[in-house]
Structure 1
Amino acid sequence: MSAPVEIRNSPTGKLFPAIGPFLIAAIFSFFALKGLASGAPGRELFVVAVLALGCLWLGLFLARGAFDTGVQVMLDDRGFRDRRGGDVLVPWEKVRSAHLTSGEGAAMISFELTELPPDAIRYAPANALGRWLPFGKNIVHMEISSLDITGADMIAAIRRLAPHVAVDG
């Protein structure tokens, strides 16, 4: 029996995407304060303040994952479980292949299943695109660029835990 692989969020993988919204919130806040000091009309000032608060909220929403130290993805002898995508165990017997896609700093593993994924996975926000596309209904996508594992390590773990799964990556 192989040791399970517990994968958590990477703090840097969660904080770096939040920098942009924080910067934009700071810019909108600067202009809102400048407009307030110069007596700008209330409607335009309100719109700029709402945009600043919206960007601040988005930055906090993106950054909150950096402080979540719980296990996000679990790989073991039985299968894989992604807490962000339905938190349902997918047995290795139902996995036909796994494919690593990476580029431009993003990485994703796509699992092709032998049947449709469980409803909890299919209707999870992480797999929303699969509901609208006419193809790939039996594919589960797992984003790994924000996790504390590399694509190569994830592929190695899949090969070790499920040698029958065709792995490309």
Structure 2
Amino acid sequence: MSNVLPTEHKKKETGRLWTRFLLAGAVMLAGGAVVATLAILPAFISVRIARAGIETSEAARLASGDQSAAARAQVLLGILGSIAAATSSPSGVLAGALSLKPANISVNTIIYTGGGQGKIVLSGVAGRREAVSEYRDALSGSGRFVDVAVPVAALVGTQEGKFTITLSGSF
């Protein structure tokens, strides 16, 4: 056919063939792009759903962390509120007990147990046995304590000056 057509028509026909070829190639590339997009779309959607789930679970975790911190703070405030509302301060009672101590007595250990009927245990060393008796009398006479108990061995002096005094009261 190429030898039958004149040169002008041959050039036009070649241009038409190239146009058809380019158009068919463009349609095929567009179709391939649509197929590739449809193939990737489910993976993209699943990633978006998973990311949204992670974000909501992280937000819920942060919210629950804030809620647990708030609950813990409320419990601590309740505990500290009951201590602050106590009728007398334990430090005031301890300071009062230690202010009555004679000069030749050394208190080494203080154990405080609070509650309705509080208890303070003072342990230490006295230079002489009469000092323990004087200290017990001073604590009893102060009126701050319901009961002042001292073991007899400490009053007699058989423990080499060591003593333990137990104070009871509402503090």
Considering fraction of residues, name the structure with more helix. Answer: 2
TM-score interval, smaller chain: under 0.3
**Greater relative contact order (Cα < 8 A, sep 6+):** 1
Using the size of structure 2 for normalisation, the TM-score is: 0.24
